Structure 1
């Protein structure tokens, strides 16, 4: 089954800093300054009754999402849920020595998706990604790539839409001639990177007729 936006009224985005994008966590309507705000501009212009929520929190790993899943996801009652998480599960291995195995990552991810599916949400899974700036970051791929494969398996298992963000953003970096033009530190997106991701999300959900501002 192809997941499309259809008549979904409540659209919720979950994840880490890339989704968070500096949102005001004290304001439920704050969307941050990244791809979520670009997507929301288009979705609400097409349907003013639609509400877009951003519940991303910078630094989160999948276990953090699982710990706050009920309050920050299920209680909001989304019709459509978009999730991107995993780069911090990799990053913390290299900067803090905190290891989340690919098996643990997939276990926790499967658990939260199962709860969301049981609550009736349509699912969109956005791959975690890395746009390496140097040889040290290329070494991270050993840890990240199994997580990307896990997300692809989970998308098939849960009949979710899959946004293959890793390939998309690395291709955009090659076209730009500089990875830092897309992700300033290999992870956090520039305005161009956010625009690329937003445009791909809208295409995936069949909501790309007439570009949103900045997309």
Structure 2
């Protein structure tokens, strides 16, 4: 358990809050530029990357969608504020998504919420609203003060059939489902079905966090948190948020990892390639000033071994991967972000490891360390390496597949980040 001091929330004038409560922001597939959102005082405090509906590593509800059902999802914010809004995504929907009603509340235990904390979410002051196919939407502001590392429960009722659902496959947390309208239920009794994915929920924003202070952790399963203890918030971005809060400097740390994601190759199941999704998943996040990029191990590994999701072998050279990283850096700088590169951790003994893949990993890591292309470097290769074999994960950090860290490994990743490098 990590001790975190209670944060003193920043104040906001009644006039400013009243203005923000009066409206919402709706985006089509072309999301607003960060400056346009930040100008209204919003900062993202939790987010996840939307994916196309389909099968994945664990069973999920994305392909069947929902009808006359309530979805309840619990997330932990990283930075606090005095008011909150929720962002929903229908970016991979083939039809408009009709939300009959939605609520937000402080989390109690499981699917239960804390008494007296329930707030109804509205869009343009209406409790029912529609998100166009291919679009995203932000709710109106709700006066619900939050501290760093607080948990909130977002619930929405979908009366009409939705069709296949935009979702995030590997939540490493429980989502709950009930038949009928239970958006305002305080207890968990109706929520008898569970899933390990998030649905439609793409972000939680607050007013009160320092502007342009947020950090996006952008990557694949090493960022998404595969191998960490389920429902323990031990992914490396979680651990980094805890570390910063414990030091008395809470700031937003956003997890934009997708398990299996590649920098150079699109996949229906494993996400759009990093160079394509970077604008939506990083540049459109309000209040962000820095991005940490940890991507490429799947490009290398899936050149040698097929994906567990049966993605075909796609040969990607070290040179192609480096060129794609340069593209990400250009995008980040064009968006005004500080950009930090993370070296690719050891993978010897994993299904991805061959002599050829190790040569590529070494070449990419050497470029990240020495090229000067990034503003700063987090050397996860060294931080996670075995003391007796630099090509292998430290056994103390190995989740068991010789590729993904365990809880201790994710904590070591967070501690490899120099807070001074975050800007």
**Fold conserved between structures, TM > 0.5:** yes
**CA displacement at 1:174 relative to structure 2:** 6.0
Cα gap change, 1:174 to 1:182, in 2 (>3 Å): farther
- Matched residue, 2:365: 148
Is 2:423 the counterpart of 1:205? Answer: no
Secondary structure, counterpart of 1:157 in structure 2 = coil
CA contact (8 A) 1:12 1:81 kept: yes
CA distance in 1, matches of 2:281, 2:350: 36
Cα gap change, 1:100 to 1:131, in 2 (>3 Å): closer
Q: 2:249 aligns with which of 42, 47, 58?
A: 47
Cα gap change, 1:32 to 1:87, in 2 (>3 Å): farther
Structure 1's unaligned 5+ residue stretches are 1-6, 23-29, 208-215
- Matched residue, 2:318: 102
Which is bigger in relative contact order (C-alpha 8 A, separation at least 6)? 1
**CA displacement at 1:125 relative to structure 2:** 0.9
CA contact (8 A) 2:386 2:394 kept: no
**CA displacement at 1:186 relative to structure 2:** 1.9
Cα gap change, 1:53 to 1:94, in 2 (>3 Å): same
CA distance in 2, matches of 1:69, 1:135: 28
The aligned length equals 189
Q: Mapping of 1:14-33 within 5 angstroms? A: 14-21=218-225, 33=234
Which structure has the bigger radius of gyration? 2
Secondary structure, counterpart of 1:55 in structure 2 = strand
TM-score, normalised relative to structure 2 = 0.41
Name the structure with the higher helix share.
Answer: 1
Is 2:406 the counterpart of 1:190? Answer: yes
CA distance in 2, matches of 1:101, 1:136: 15
Is 2:164 the counterpart of 1:164? Answer: no
**CA displacement at 1:152 relative to structure 2:** 2.4
Structure 2's unaligned 5+ residue stretches are 1-210, 265-272, 307-312
**CA displacement at 1:110 relative to structure 2:** 0.5
- Matched residue, 1:92: 302
CA contact (8 A) 2:386 2:393 kept: no
CA contact (8 A) 1:31 1:53 kept: no
- Matched residue, 2:275: 66
Cα gap change, 1:47 to 1:170, in 2 (>3 Å): closer
Alignment RMSD: 3.0
Measured against aligned partners, the alpha-carbon deviations of 1:123-153 in whole angstroms (never above 9, x if no partner) come to 2111012242379836231221112123224
CA contact (8 A) 1:132 1:179 kept: no
